[in-house]
Amino acid sequence: MAHATNWIEIDPTALQHNARTLQAYIGDGRTLWAVVKADAYGHGAVNAVHTLLQAGVRHFVVASLNEAIDLREAIREPSFRVMTLYPPTTPEEWRTAAEYGVESVIDSPAGYQQACEIARVRERSLPVHLELDTGMSRLGLTPEQLGSFLQAFRPDAPLEWRSVFTHFACADSDPEFTREQLRLFLQSVAYLRGEGFPETPLHAAASAALLTLSETLLDAVRCGLLLYGIAPAGLETHPLCQSLKPVLRWRTRVLSVRTIPKGQGVSYGARFRAKRPTRVATLGVGYADGYSIGLTNRAPVALKGKLVPQIGRVCMDMIMVDATDLPDVQVGDVATLIGRDGDAEVRVETLARLLSTTPHEITTRLGKRARGRI
Ligand SMILES: Cc1ncc(COP(=O)(O)O)c(C=O)c1O
């Protein structure tokens, strides 16, 4: 970290606390699948998996085969299980998934055929999950495809069905639609089972549904955001969110300090003009690091235990803050872009609200310069 101008600090005990709190909330009879795609939402997937394994989590979810392979190569724990959300789309991808013991999603009749063929050639059973599309319109068998899937379905095919699942589209905003998705999911599962499809664990809820609709908890939940101690949009006051701890802190250093006269502009386009003589502190972070230009003149930054306003357009590698009320601020002081500094805290949820985006986007966009330097 010697020369880092901005960096991420991870609190593994907070991650473990969140995993245990979530497991207690959903109950021992249900499995917590930890969603660690996109480098564990910017938190660092390999370390996150090691930390979560120590807290008793065994099931992990990533998006791509490459992410799964990276984890498989780094994690030697035999009980570690990983599934990809992208369905393999070629026989080559199926072969690779099988070789690495990655659990794959079947989301179409064609995917089912490919999986059966690869398992037959390998003479080994393949671990797979069936995804049903109940209204997300992204991946999964549509209700119309169930018939053709069942026509092709062979109960004796060498596939090991690990689960059937769906994904909610509006769990943070539309409980009626979410209930309708759940109803359709359970109805489709009943239909599949009636036609000879095996009984498997069922899952549907991610963080938002876990908080808003307890009937969606089923046998397992796939949880990302809450594990990292971040609340889905609009659900910040839920008691469960209050009991979780933010895992990530994003920090930077003061590179330079100057006092400018009343009326002088700051940064490109002079989009901030000093209304008084202003002490400007320049920090070593910018949009190339994931600090969005959209935060220009809007975001709080924690410095010396106080919140100060970001001022002037966010640059590629630097931002400025108004440190007039912190007369002793100096080059080298540490500022906090996300996380707590004494009594001052900048929440991911606040930055997401300012940018009209999801909290997921904030941490997954943290840049290369900040990562790998924990
Ligand atoms: C299919 C699926 N399940 C679960 C999750 C986890 O969602 P969250 O981070 O809101 O818990 C995601 C996240 O994008 C997802 O795509």
The pLDDT tens digits of the residues spanning 182-214 come to 999 999 999 999 999 999 999 999 999 999 999
Q: Which of 41, 59, 85 gets mutated to test ligand 1 (max ligand atoms within 8 A of its CB)? A: 85
CA neighbor of 340 nearest in space, from 14, 2, 5, 4 = 14
Q: Quote the domain boundaries for residue 329.
A: 248-364
Please tell me if the CB atom of residue 83 comes closer than 6 angstroms to any atom of ligand 1: no
d(CA 12, CA 354): 28
In a domain, 370, yes or no: no
Of 242, 258, 285, which one is at a domain's C-terminal end? 242
Same domain, 280 and 183: no
Centre of ligand 1 to C-alpha 96, Å, is 24
Q: Number of folded domains in the chain?
A: 2
Residue 224 CB–ligand 1 contact under 6 Å: yes
Residue 374: predicted pLDDT: 41
User: Which ligand 1 atom sits closest to the C-alpha of 206?
Assistant: 11
What is the per-residue pLDDT for 373?
44
Q: Buried (b) or exposed (e) across 244-255, using 16+ Cβ within 10 A?
A: bebbbbbbbbbe
Q: Is 225 in the pocket of ligand 1 (CB under 6 A)?
A: yes
For ligand 1, atom 14: residue with the closest CA: 224
| pLDDT of res. 164 | 98
Q: State how far the Cα of 68 lies from the Cα of 319, in Å rounded to an integer.
A: 36
Cβ atoms of residues 139 and 184 within 8 Å = no
Give the model's pLDDT for residue 333: 97
Residues 165, 23 share a domain: yes
Amino acid at position 152, single letter: A
Q: pLDDT at position 3, please?
A: 74
Q: Is 37 in the pocket of ligand 1 (CB under 6 A)?
A: no
Tell whether 162 and 192 lie within a shared domain: yes
Main-chain dihedrals φ then ψ at residue 17, nearest 5 degrees = -60, -45
Catalytic residues: 37, 268
| 325-344 per-position pLDDT tens digit | 999 999 999 999 999 999 99
Token pair for 255: 């590179």
What separation in Å is there between the alpha carbon of 355 and the centre of ligand 1?
20
Q: Taking a C-beta distance cutoff of 8 angstroms, is the pair 47, 71 a contact?
A: no
251 touches 9 (CB < 8 A): yes
Let me know whether 217 and 303 are in one domain.
no
pTM over 0.85: yes
DSSP-H helix ranges across the chain: 12-26, 37-42, 45-54, 65-74, 91-99, 109-122, 146-152, 175-194, 207-212, 239-242, 348-354, 359-364
